[in-house]
Amino acid sequence: MNKRLEQKIRNHTATVGVIGMGYVGLPLAVELGNEGFNVIGIDINKKKVKIVNSGKSDIDDISDKQVAALVKAKKLRCTADCSALKKCDIVPICVPTPLNKTKDPDVSFILSATHEIKKYLHRGQLVILESTTYPGTTEELIKPILERTGLKVGKDFFLAFSPERVDPGNKKFATKNTPRVVGGTTQVCSRLAKLFYGQIISKVIPLSSTQSAEMVKLLENTFRSVNIGLVNEVALMCDKLKINVWEIIDAADTKPFGFMKFYPGPGLGGHCIPIDPHYLSWKLKSLNYYARFIELAGDINAHMPEYVVSRVNRVLNQKGKSISGSDILILGATYKKDIRDLRESPSLDVIRLLEVEGARVKYNDPHAPSIRMNNCVMKSVKLTPQLLKKSDCVIIVTDHSAYDYGWIARHSQLIFDTRNATKNVRNNRKKIFVL
């Protein structure tokens, strides 16, 4: 079985069924299609299916042109019908893994995908979980479900874990040139998964187990969360000490060793850094261990939107104004610059908290024409000199490249900059306040 699959992988004649056509699945599908694999995208969202099959992309890092070329060449098609898995030799699972309200892992999408695979599992098939999850998920949840078919892992079918490393908006590193780690449930599983990813990715690092591969992704994002939490706390300290945190960070960065630069901000966004560390923390709680760094960093980062609003309130008070009844303009709604992803965006929390304080809030974002707030839809307003002049305070939450910060500063009464986007604005410094 493994020799036959190995040959198909080497010849690029294997059919790959990518479950989930989002920020992880679609870029993977495109890279596979570009290398000649036949790719079937599987997604329960029929709107998503229609978009892909029409040769369009709703993902920042993938262009319509890329998708259209593969659809036209019949190397990529999308369906909501999971029976397409019957034809697939390899099945990467790229579904969401959110947290529930109590910050416990929600693996329902993984389980749903696994049960669908079980219906159509056949000999010689390779299943790979890419969704970020806690150590043990592949072995403890997926393997038992698939082995209920009577097929044995490592002999009849193959199972591995390889965490996605997608960074939306990153122009330097994408799927193809970002190294991958893989861990299989057996040595044969690991070897086949390494061979598969090696067809489309420049460097693949095999690990000893699926648990190790699962832990790698959590370490990567926990490292970032903890360091962002540290620098956010330093920003709070610098505010108390009345010194500029951005100056401190840039000066520390001149040291050629022993320091890695992180910047403070209005909070964490996206699907990874605010969420992934809690998967590890949850797992450790089941082993009677409290992950103190993770919990503390999570607490600091989660409260940054509140700090932003408190600083805005203080700045307005210095100008003899109250936050209640003030006109506030938010610049940037997405969670990071130059993308359209709104997931977990701190901007949404800032807007909500400002409205609770009685502010009249509008927002502008060239990448997000509308956002949903409290079951209502807010629409991005046009950025004009009149709007800037009318606003009692302009808050830069996401530092999109499209913004002309000098022009914004010239026309604004007051600016609170959470990203140090105005650092090169020479004039009007008296009305610019930085996080």
- Domain of 105, CATH number, reads 3.40.50.720
Please tell me whether residues 19 and 162 are part of one structural domain. yes
| pLDDT value of residue 103 | 74
What is the pTM assigned to this prediction? Answer: 0.90
pLDDT for 398: 96
pLDDT for the residue numbered 406: 94
Q: Is residue 325 part of a domain?
A: yes
What share of the chain in percent tops pLDDT 70?
100
Q: Are both 112 and 247 inside the same structural domain? A: no
Asked if residue 68 and residue 32 are part of one domain, the reply reads yes
Residue-wise pLDDT tens digits, 191-241: 999 999 999 998 999 999 999 999 999 999 999 999 999 999 999 999 999
151 and 33 fall within a common domain: yes
Q: Are residues 11 and 129 in the same domain?
A: yes
Identify the domain containing residue 395 by its residue range.
239-268+303-434
> In the structure encoding, which two tokens stand for residue 388, read together?
């800037």
Mean pLDDT across 376-404? 96
Domain count, the chain: 2
Question: Is 284 among the domain residues?
Answer: no
Shared domain for 155 and 251, answered yes or no, is: no
Same domain for 98 and 202 = yes
Query: Does the annotation count 393 as an active-site position?
Result: no
Res. 282 pLDDT band, cuts 50 70 90: confident
Residues 35, 183 within the same domain:
yes
Is 258 part of a structural domain of the chain?
A: yes
Catalytic member of 82, 189, 272, 393: 272
Q: pLDDT tens for residues 102-133?
A: 778 889 999 999 999 999 999 999 999 999 99
Same structural domain for residues 84 and 145? yes
Q: Tell me whether residue 226 is in a domain.
A: no
| pLDDT reading at 100 higher than 90 | no
Does one domain contain both 139 and 249?
A: no
Note whether 250 and 122 are same-domain residues.
Answer: no
